[in-house]
């Protein structure tokens, strides 16, 4: 970066501001601090991807602080390192110009925080979450749909391997790491059958990661044929278009000699699929819930089936930083097997109009992870 650009960078930076439901997105120049605090990192965003929760926020499906810079899946390069920042989460040396990704949430890591001390830092009592904070005061830059971002002290940073591209990494910051953490906390291991409910970004990661972790057969379910076609590219052995097959639960049970599948992972965001997922499980099976997280996502289950069949139900929101690091390693090991780059796109202009088009593209299921690339 030349001196002229550096001076401009220190004065201000562009960001796309979300002001609330039914209000237009706003492109705005925000002041960029010349100095950063100890433990902070100034990052230039090189790619951000749109998550389904960004779209839900934009549509007003949940309460949200405003004004806010949305975007919590991104990668960038280090522009400035604050005092005390020398290594990443895994002990790798950090320097100016390094490409990095970081955990979506920042915990306080204090002794009085039960969650930070007990393996749930994403539920910290003083939680900070990128792309979910008000952007009306310094340091302003806290979301991915901006030119820059200031990483807070205690952020869990991971250096990106040179042989991974930005579009192979950005969606890991939410979708990939959440899926892997769901497998981790449910003690997922080698099994005969894994069912994936929903084939958006999380579902595609579930297919690929499930295979990597030892699932012999992966069955992918979705309402859209193009997404099922993508699931095959990511390791699915069987796909079922659920809208055209009302007996799909029976069909899946027949595949298993009516014993049921070992694990079902729900990544649809639709609570109406939960009961059908539970019906597919064998005795002692596992049900992992990642998708249906919004207020009003209610469902009713027959508790006797859960108890008598010894079903384990696991819910997860966000993830522990270890799973982001592990997901990077899996992508690196399997990038020749699965087309992770195809998950991202199209790339939209860095503008209020471009971000809105990206939101609409994902909402209409025309894309899986549309991207925003600041210029």
Domain boundaries, the chain: 3-173+339-372, 178-315
Tell me the pLDDT band of 138, cut-offs 50, 70 and 90: confident
The answer, yes or no, to whether residue 159 has pLDDT greater than 80, is: yes
Residue found by looking up tokens 């694990």 in the block: 263
The answer, yes or no, to whether residue 8 has pLDDT greater than 90, is: no
* Alpha-carbon gap, residue 99 to 107, rounded angstroms: 22
Q: Can you give the pTM of this predicted structure?
A: 0.95
Q: What is the mean pLDDT of residues 144-162?
A: 97
Q: What is the pLDDT of residue 4?
A: 37
The answer, yes or no, to whether residue 98 has pLDDT greater than 60, is: yes
Q: What percent of the chain has pLDDT over 90?
A: 87
Q: What is the mean pLDDT of residues 41-51?
A: 97
Q: What is the pLDDT of residue 236?
A: 98
The answer, yes or no, to whether residue 18 has pLDDT greater than 90, is: yes
Q: What is the pLDDT of residue 176?
A: 98
Separation of CA 329 from chain center: 16
* Alpha-carbon gap, residue 105 to 126, rounded angstroms: 10
The answer, yes or no, to whether residue 9 has pLDDT greater than 70, is: no
State the SS3 of the chain: CCHHHHHHHHHEEEEEEECCCCCCCEEEEEECCCCCCCCCEEEEEEEEECCHHHHHHHCCCCCCCCCECCCCEEEEEEEEECCCCCECCCCCECCCCCEEEECCEECCCCCCCHHHHCCCHHHCCCCEECCCCECCCCCCCCCCCECEEEECCCCCEEECCCCCCHHHHHHHHCHHHHHHHHHHHCCCCCEEEEEEECCCHHHHHHHHHHHHCCEEEEEEEECCHHHHHHHHHCCCCEEEEHHHCCCHHHHHHHHCCCCCEEEEEECCCCHHHHHHHHHCEEEEEEEEECCCCCCCCCCCCCHHHHHHCCCEEEECCCCCHHHHHHHHHHHHHHCCCCCHHHHEEEEECCCHHHHHHHHHHHHCCCCCEEEECCC
* Alpha-carbon gap, residue 226 to 45, rounded angstroms: 30
Q: What is the mean pLDDT of residues 321-342?
A: 97
pLDDT in tens, 177-213: 999 999 999 999 999 999 999 999 999 999 999 999 9
The answer, yes or no, to whether residue 10 has pLDDT greater than 60, is: no
pLDDT in tens, 263-311: 999 999 888 899 999 999 999 999 999 986 677 778 888 899 999 999 9
Cβ pair 16, 145 in contact under 8 A: yes
Q: Which CATH superfamily is domain 178-315 in?
A: NAD(P)-binding Rossmann-like Domain (3.40.50.720)
Residue found by looking up tokens 């892997």 in the block: 180
pLDDT in tens, 250-276: 999 999 999 999 999 999 988 889 999
Tell me the pLDDT band of 139, cut-offs 50, 70 and 90: confident
Cβ pair 108, 116 in contact under 8 A: yes
* Alpha-carbon gap, residue 316 to 322, rounded angstroms: 15
Average pLDDT, the chain: 94
Q: What is the pLDDT of residue 296?
A: 74
Fold of 3-173+339-372: Quinone Oxidoreductase; Chain A, domain 1 (3.90.180)
Strands 105-106 and 281-289: unpaired
Q: What is the mean pLDDT of residues 99-128?
A: 97
The answer, yes or no, to whether residue 3 has pLDDT greater than 90, is: no
φ and ψ of 289, to 5 deg: -110, 115
* Alpha-carbon gap, residue 170 to 354, rounded angstroms: 18
More confident call, 11 vs 76: 76
């Amino acid at each position: 970066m030349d001196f002229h650009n550096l001076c401009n960078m220190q004065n201000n930076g562009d960001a796309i501001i979300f002001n609330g439901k039914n209000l237009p997105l706003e492109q705005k120049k925000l002041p960029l601090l010349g100095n950063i605090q100890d433990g902070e990192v100034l990052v230039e965003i090189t790619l951000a991807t749109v998550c389904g929760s960004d779209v839900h926020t934009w549509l007003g499906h949940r309460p949200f602080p405003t004004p806010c810079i949305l975007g919590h899946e991104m990668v960038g390069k280090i522009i400035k390192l604050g005092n005390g920042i020398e290594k990443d989460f895994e002990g790798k040396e950090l320097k100016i110009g390094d490409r990095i990704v970081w955990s979506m949430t920042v915990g306080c890591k204090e002794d009085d925080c039960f969650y930070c001390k007990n393996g749930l830092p994403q539920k910290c009592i003083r939680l900070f979450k990128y792309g979910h904070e008000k952007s009306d005061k310094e340091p302003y830059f806290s979301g991915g749909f901006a030119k820059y971002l200031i990483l807070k002290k205690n952020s869990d940073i991971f250096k990106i391997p040179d042989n991974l591209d930005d579009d192979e990494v950005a969606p890991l910051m939410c979708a990939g790491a959440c899926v892997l953490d769901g497998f981790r906390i449910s003690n997922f291991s080698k099994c005969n059958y894994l069912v994936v409910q929903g084939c958006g970004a999380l579902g595609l990661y579930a297919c690929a990661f499930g295979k990597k972790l030892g699932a012999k057969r992966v069955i992918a379910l979705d309402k859209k044929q193009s997404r099922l076609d993508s699931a095959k590219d990511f390791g699915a052995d069987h796909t079922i278009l659920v809208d055209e097959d009302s007996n799909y639960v029976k069909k899946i049970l027949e595949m298993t000699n009516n014993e049921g599948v070992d694990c079902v992972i729900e990544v649809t965001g639709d609570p109406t699929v939960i009961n059908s997922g539970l019906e597919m499980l064998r005795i002692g099976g596992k049900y992992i819930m990642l998708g249906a997280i919004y207020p009003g996502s209610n469902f009713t289950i027959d508790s006797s089936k859960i108890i008598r069949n010894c079903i384990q139900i696991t819910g997860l929101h966000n993830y522990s930083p270890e799973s982001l690091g592990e997901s990077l390693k899996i992508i690196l090991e399997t990038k020749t097997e699965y087309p992770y780059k195809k998950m991202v796109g199209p790339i939209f202009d860095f503008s209020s109009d471009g971000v809105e088009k990206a939101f609409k593209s994902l909402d209409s299921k025309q894309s899986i992870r549309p991207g925003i690339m600041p210029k």
